[in-house]
Amino acid sequence: MAKKLESLDKVTVKFAGDSGDGVQVMGDQFGNATAVVGNDFATLPDYPAEIRAPQGTTYGVSSYQIQFAAYDVYTPGDIPDVLVAFNPAALKVNLTSLKPGGTIIANEDEFTEQNLRKAGFSSNPLEDDSLGSFRVYRVPITRLTIESLKDEPVGHKDKERCRNFFALGMMCWLFSRPLEPSIEFLKKRFATKVQVMEANTKALKAGYNICDTMEIFPIHYQLPPAKLEPGKYRNVNGAFASACGLVVASHKSGLPLIYSGYPITPASETLEVLAALKQYGAVTIQSEDEISAITMAIGAAYSGAIGVTGTSGPGLALKTEALNLAVMTELPLIVFDFQRSGPSTGMPTKTEQTDLLFALFGRPAESPVIILSPSSPADCFWISIEAVRLATKYMTPVIVLSEQFLVHSSEPWKLPDLDKIPPIEVNFRTDPKGFYPYMRDEKTLARPWVKLGTPGLEHTLGGLEKSNIQGTISYEPENHDLMNKLRAQKIQKVAQDIPDAQIMGPADADVVVVGWGGTYGHIKAAIEMANQDGMKVAMVHLRYLNPLQKNLGDLLRRFKKVLVPELNLGQLSYVLRAKYLIDAIGYNRITGRPFYVSELLNFIKDEYKSLRMH
């Protein structure tokens, strides 16, 4: 029986369930299937902090949101059009952020009295009229899964566990996605557990077929492929892209890569990815604490390798003294700060951009470092390479301000031609003639880097102030003044070595929106909508936060209004005001989740209107 097929151009879907429901796997596989049909997309996984929270509780809900479209998308979507709720708790926590008139697909088998009570429902929302404004589909997903697997030689529990693939099959039917990528995935994932692989595959197909034959949904949808740039693509999240960038930088520079990290959410993923890339020579050390993580990286840098450490806010706080040691010894060191909600332990699995001022100023004394920030999951790859290039060229620590959102969020990545990535040239000093450890390159002010083991260049570095050029311990007042200024100037020199800031959007706009980090997609989407609505709004997104690009001040002064949305209380605004005396107008929210495009659009609209009224 042929079902009605309708075309859509953009959908946001959210899968939500218990953290043991396999929602993340389901989301990833739906993303892969979406990639294959050529839609553009972006994803946002959302984990609870609890690993296995008590079943059925609201704080145990894990979810995966994906926005996909027949055109470019920049964000995982604000609020879902379709919610797949595996239990009452998943419905409960997502009810407030669901589009009016949106679709709810609920696994009715889990809406038991006990589960309803755990989720805080006094009556079953599937049966009362509380969901009146939504289109609700009650599907006995668990029961149908088990029925479809009645002949499979796996236990009852294993059958139940296949319900995420059953639901995935349903969703693939609903949005006309192929099953093949998921079948391939199952073959690989359960290569040694053939029965489990077969059961999941069967559940996947059953979910698809049941929609085709039964009246579960009256309609299904297709989305034409987006017009993406030709090329080869893969889906990538920030953790993988950051790690890949480091490996590529290691090969492009010919330097060994030593990454030491102490487990901390959400930095651990990058350490984990790298730990599995040993075939590329990546050395990872799980250190005993945050301080040993950074000091091992400093030791590696002194030795002549790329020393990297990764952490999040609480860990960065512990690393500050060692960061200053790297500033003083002028060694290349890369510190990833995967920002998360703070202060203190805060909300470890949630995102925000609250460490910018800490990265800039959060160390005793004058302690300038380079600060970079990736704009999107795929950009994490490029920022890693840029961090290695600048750290080794300028002999300085680089802080990469990434974000929890970027670590987990994913998007299609047009795969680069690795041969076209320029080599990172590192010139180790080998000539003992005229060598001093703090002699400086005229252009960069960098001191020479010596691979330990090089004869004739033996020297001692350390945290004590050194005389410029000779590098001996110095308490000389004028020298200390000079060294402070040289360390600062060296970082400012980097501005000559990076591309100018670019305006995106209409050149004759009166309003510009300035952002940094993972808000790129949200701001871009809001800007496009604003311009479609007849406003003229431009955008500047910063990947270089220290030093700022040399044209930035002049560029921003061209606009009548400078809007700065940030997931903090105005940290970039503070910098722009201080540096350029610009009246930066902030939009500041710290909710633990990324911006909604709609709230940014409203902010832009309001500011745009008030500009017109003047």
Partner 1 sequence: MSVTEQEGQITYKWTDFKSDQDVRWCPGCEDYAILKAFQTALAELDIPREKHVVVSGIGCSSRLPYYMSTYGFHGIHGRPIPIATGVKVANPDLVVWVITGDGDCLSIGGNHLIHVMRRNVDIKILLFDNRIYGLTKGQYSPTSDKGMVNRTAPMGTVEEPVEPVALALASGATFVARTDAAYLKHLIHLIVEAHKHKGTAFLHIYQNCYVYNDGVFDDFTQRDVRDDRNLVLEHGKPLIFGKNRDKGLRFKDGMVEIAEFEPADPPEDITIFDETNLSLAFALSKLYWPRFPVPMGVIRRVEQPSFEELIYGQIEKAKQKFSTDLNKLIYSGDVWEVK
- Residues 222-251 touching partner 1, rule: CB under 8 A, are 225, 228-236, 244, 247-248, 251
Q: What are residue 100's phi and psi, to 5 degrees?
A: -60, 135
Q: Is there binding between residue 298 and partner 1 (CB under 8 A)?
A: yes
By CB under 8 A, the residues from 147 to 206 that bind partner 1 are 181, 184
Q: Name residues contacting partner 1, limited to 268-287 (CB under 8 A).
A: 277-281, 283, 285, 287
Q: Which residues, numbered 24-63, are part of the site for partner 1 (CB under 8 A)? A: 32, 35-36, 38
Binding mask 455-484 for partner 1 (x = CB under 8 A): xxxxxxxxxx-------xx-----------
- Indicate the residue among 210 and 369 with the shorter CB distance to partner 1: 369
Among 316, 325, 391, 563, binds partner 1 (CB under 8 A): 325
Nearer to partner 1, 458 or 497 (CB): 458
Strand duo 4-7 + 219-222: pairing = parallel
Backbone φ and ψ for 500, nearest 5 degrees, come out as: -65, 155
Q: Is 301 in the site for partner 1 (CB under 8 A)?
A: yes
Distance (Å, whole) CA 516 – CA 355: 12
- Residues 78 and 33: their CA atoms lie apart, in Å, by 21
DSSP state of 134: S
Q: From the CB of 234, what's the least distance to partner 1, in Å? A: 5
Give the nearest distance from C-beta 292 to partner 1 in angstroms. Answer: 4
* 579: nearest Cα among 478, 501, 483: 501
Q: Which residues pair with 227 in a beta bridge?
A: none
| Strand partners of residue 562 | 512, 584
Map the footprint of partner 1 across residues 487-546, applying CB under 8 A.
none
For the purposes of burial, counting CB atoms within 10 Å of the CB of 129, is it exposed (0-12), middle (13-18) or buried (19 or more)?
A: exposed
Count of residues interacting with partner 1 (CB under 8 A): 71
43 neighbors 409 (Cβ within 8 angstroms):
yes
Give CA–CA dist 56/88, Å, rounded.
Answer: 7
Taking the C-alpha atoms of residue 216 and residue 209, their distance in angstroms, rounded to an integer, is 11
Distance in Å, CB of 203 to partner 1, minimum? 21
Min separation Cβ 552 and partner 1, Å = 32
DSSP labels for 19-52? TTS-HHHHHHHHHHHHHHTT-EEEEEEE--SSSS
546: closest CA among 360, 396, 315?
360
Binding mask 417-456 vs partner 1 (x if CB under 8 A, - otherwise)?
-x--------------------------------xxxxxx
Q: Does 606 bind partner 1 (CB under 8 A)?
A: no
Shortest spacing between CB 439 and partner 1, in angstroms? 17
Q: How far is the CB of 309 from partner 1 (least distance, A)?
A: 10
- Check residue 2 and report its DSSP letter: P
Residues near 462 by Cβ (< 8 Å), separated by ≥ 6?
Answer: 328, 329, 473
Q: Which is nearer to partner 1, 238 or 586 (CB)?
A: 238
409 lies in the binding site for partner 1 (CB under 8 A): no
Nearer to partner 1, 469 or 473 (CB): 473
Does the footprint of partner 1 cover residue 100 (CB under 8 A)?
no
Stretch in the footprint of partner 1 (CB under 8 A) among 255-263, 365-373, 393-401, 552-560:
255-263
Q: Least distance to partner 1 from the beta carbon of 416, Å?
A: 7
Q: Which of 79, 183, 291, 439 binds partner 1 (CB under 8 A)?
A: 291
Q: Using the rule CB under 8 A, which residue among 207, 304, 505, 547 binds partner 1?
A: 304
- The Cα–Cα gap between 331 and 397 comes to 7
Q: Which residue has the tokens 């994803």?
A: 43
